[in-house]
Each structure stands twice: as structure tokens, then as C-alpha cells.
Homo-oligomer: A and B are copies of this chain.
Amino acid sequence: MPPQPPEATAQDATRKHLLETAGEVFAEVGFRAATVREICLRAEANIAAVNYHFGDKERLYTAVLQDTCRVALETYPPNLGLAAKATPEQRLSAFVRSFLLRIFSEGPAARHGKLMAREMIEPTGALDDLVRENVQPMAAMLKSIVRSLVGPGASEETLRLCAMSVVSQVLFYHHCRPVVRRLYPDLKFGSVELEQLAEHITQFSLAAIKQLGKARKKRGGK
């Protein structure tokens, strides 16, 4: 008998189910279009269950956002279990791959990507916390990787710009999927294709970053 989590009450079960179902619905149609009725119906809960467990629709949404974020990061950790003494190149590759896998996964973890994309269009109060607690550390990690690659002495601005150039390439395929799909109908995003994509983004970025590093040294600074 496994060490049962303490107090796995009926309440928690309903709450959890609600959280999961709401995640689905919010990811599918967004906060506004999602209706409490639909969520409760799918979760086989009473229409008043949302208000009872979360106060109101908005707080349910906040809880969903935080929960999906946690799940996504647990499922695809940014370093992908890399050895401690990995090279910067390996670390960049892992970062890109885990990021891609995270937002293109098909499971519950994928919902976070959809929710975040919607959050970019209409930010809610929940975004502040999310950026501070989750995005910030990721950005710092990536910047440290870039610093290792571009060499010491690079300005904060350079690090920031390069980090964003890396991130942008990953996010693009997720965010602009509707356009990409229409431009290249044959393009798929299976695991093979994702690996190829990760390889391209990594190589493209490595080439650029290293080149910038060389150019900086030649100019003797900055």
C-alpha cells in the first residue's frame, strides 16, 4: 500500500476533477467563451461547484493556470536531466528541446502552452505571478547558457537579445501554427519533426551567438 497522500477527501477529488476539466475548456475556447455550465457539465459536477470550490470563474482560471504550469514544468523540466558538467552547447540543445516538447506535447502539459498563448493576447492578473515565479528563472537559465557561449564580457543587453532570439524561434511554431499550417500543409509536428526542428533552432542559434562572440572580441569589447 503506497503512502497515501494524507486527506485525499472527496472534496479534493471534485476539486481536482474540476481543475482538470476547466483546464481543457479554457485551453479550447479561452476564458471568456468558456462557460461555468460547460465545465461543470463535463466534470459531472453541480453548476454551483465552481463557486463553491473556487469562489468564482476568475479564481478558477487562476488556479488552472498555476496548476497547468506546474504540471508542464514537472513533465518537461528545462534541463531534461542533463549531467551537471554538460557543455553549454548541450545545455542549449536541452533547453530548446524541452521547450519545444513542452509546448507541443499532446497531454495535459500541452494545455499550459495554449493558455499562455491566450494570456499573451489578454493578460490577466495571474500573469504577474507566473512570470515572476516561472518565466523569470527560465530566462535567467537561458541567459547563463548564452553567456557561456558568447564568452565573458558580453553586455546584459546582448545576452538578453540573444536569449530572446532563441526563445522566439521555439515559440513561433506554436504561436503561429495556424499560419504555418496553411503555408506548409504537409508540415507535421511529430516527435521526429520536433527533433529536427530542435536541431535547426539549436544550430542556427549557436552559429549566430558564436559569431557575435567572435565579432565582439575583434572589436575589442562590449
Residues of A at under 8 Å CB distance from B? 30, 32-33, 117-123, 127-128, 131-132, 135-136, 139, 160-162, 164-165, 167-169, 171-173, 175-180, 182-184, 197, 200-201, 203-205, 207-208, 210-212, 215
Contacts and interface: CB of A to CB of B under 8 A. Distances in A.
Interface-centre pick from A136, A172, A205 (highest chain B CB count, 10 A): A172
Contacts of A161: 197, 200, 204
13 contacts: A32-B32, A118-B121, A120-B176, A120-B177, A120-B178, A120-B179, A123-B178, A127-B179, A131-B182, A135-B182, A165-B204, A167-B172, A208-B211
The quantity of this chain's copies bound in the complex is: 4
Contacts of A33: 32
Given A120-B175, A120-B178, A165-B204, 14 more contacts: A32-B32, A117-B120, A119-B178, A127-B179, A127-B182, A136-B183, A164-B173, A171-B176, A203-B212, A204-B212, A205-B208, A207-B208, A207-B211, A208-B211
A200 B215 CA distance: 13
Query: Which 5 pairs of residues, A with B, have the shortest CB-CB distance?
Result: A168-B172, A207-B211, A208-B208, A131-B182, A123-B178
Contacts of A205: 208
Contacts of A204: 161-162, 165, 208, 212
Nearest to A214: B207
A197 B30 CA distance: 32
Contacts of A172: 164, 167-168, 171-172
A124 to B, nearest CB: 10
A59 B167 CA distance: 36
Nearest to A131: B182
A164 B160 contact: no
A42 B37 CA distance: 29
Contact of A212 (B30, B162, B182, B207): B207
